[in-house]
Chain A
């Protein structure tokens, strides 16, 4: 017995090492599972406030650029709005509940962002107090940015589209074929378009937009443009399609959060009828 204890005492450093590595491994695993406890992350108040200070400082230097972007976008919105205003002399049709708006939008600022890992996250300066909920979609004027993962009182953390764990339901705009966009962990400006069957005719230059099927994003937000189409060498059923992402992830500053107010209803209906939404 004494021998065993002596032996254990002699290798105490190694035992501590193994223990610490197991703790680290546990942290990695729990943090990466979507439902895992997200305690040690940047939506924690202290950490978020430090990151915010840093973002504030950096932001000061890019105010001019941000202003320009906002003006540009305002102009775009004004022009769309103009298209909706009815000229006085035309017939006016009242829209029924079929086309009722079920999406609500909020604005937020990015206070932390990463591109270089294979699991990238974005921290935003809006949280539960501003009505942000896990599962909301995130996009900006260029295109899709990601999806909210966890929320604290005043901050929230979102999966970036540059996260190998995030699939975005999408479709090819010209042909309406549904597919999924997933990042492969390499280039921050490119992603893969998955589950496109071989018989689909598509070519480089086609636009890929959100499909609206997973009730996170409204239909038609731009994701990217197809840059390469090849037959998949591993799976004979599908095409291998590369996508040039529209969003420049290295300089996102302001984003919009979108909430589908009828998400719960759709989701519970699907569960009730035992349909799994694969997109």
Chain B
């Protein structure tokens, strides 16, 4: 990863966090579907990024979101969990022949089908952890499942839209 990419990724992460704080904070469709768009920033980090920096980035992002959301620790715990699961899941869904020349698990490099099968379970895992913590001791299991399912659907939908609208297409396609 060269210096230019480093700047680009940092800016992307900051921008996503800002959007999350300012625009998506009070958004909850039908009281069920939350949008965790900032997770997109974690999903599209380079494939060869090692687990330790990934964990630290997720922890930091989660903490920043938490501080603004009044939910100290909840986003942090869930995002760290997702970051830990990411390399394992990446191995599991690797296309035949491996990732060879691909660098980023983005929509334009991998296609919509693959991106969904990569992003949805990870975001779903995040949501399960997040809502279980939120409903701790009060939880009806189904309401956790319900919220998790709709939230991850909405988040993935938004993630795809954002990538279609704002990310540069790879040349030659």
Mark A residues whose CB is within 8 Å of B: 12-14, 16-17, 20-21, 23-29, 31, 40-42, 44, 47, 50-51, 54, 112-121, 123, 157, 164, 184-186, 188
Main secondary structure of the interface of B (DSSP, over half): helix
Contact in complex: A31, B72 (CB < 8 Å): yes
A116-B72 contact, Cβ under 8 Å, with A40-B67, A47-B67, A54-B22 = no
CA distance A184 to B138 in the complex (A): 8
Contact in complex: A112, B70 (CB < 8 Å): yes
Residue numbers in B under 8 Å from A16 (CB-CB): 51-52, 55-56
A47-B80 contact, Cβ under 8 Å, with A17-B55, A31-B73, A118-B138 = no
Contact in complex: B71, A117 (CB < 8 Å): yes
Segment of B1-9, B26-34, B155-163, B164-172 engaged in the interface with chain A: B26-34
CA distance A14 to B50 in the complex (A): 12
CA distance A120 to B70 in the complex (A): 8
A to B CB contacts below 8 Å, 19 in the list: A16-B51, A16-B55, A20-B55, A20-B59, A20-B76, A24-B76, A26-B73, A27-B72, A28-B133, A40-B72, A41-B72, A42-B70, A114-B69, A114-B70, A115-B26, A116-B26, A118-B135, A118-B138, A119-B71
CA distance A29 to B74 in the complex (A): 10
Residue numbers in B under 8 Å from A20 (CB-CB): 55-56, 59, 76, 80
Residues of B75-115 at the interface with A, using a CB-CB cut-off of 8 Å, are 76-77, 80-81, 84
Mark B residues whose CB is within 8 Å of A: 21-22, 26, 28, 31, 34, 50-52, 55-56, 59, 62-63, 66-74, 76-77, 80-81, 84, 133-135, 138, 143
Smallest CB–CB gap between B103 and chain A, Å? 21
Q: Which residue of the partner chain, among B21, B56, B62, B70, contacts A24 with CB atoms under 8 Å?
A: B62
Smallest CB–CB gap between B83 and chain A, Å? 8
The 6 closest A-B pairs by CB, nearest first: A28-B73, A27-B73, A24-B77, A13-B51, A31-B72, A24-B76
A12, A20, A42 interface centre (most CB from chain B within 10 Å): A20
Residue numbers in A under 8 Å from B56 (CB-CB): 16, 20
Contact in complex: A40, B66 (CB < 8 Å): yes
CA distance A188 to B30 in the complex (A): 12
Contact in complex: A21, B28 (CB < 8 Å): no
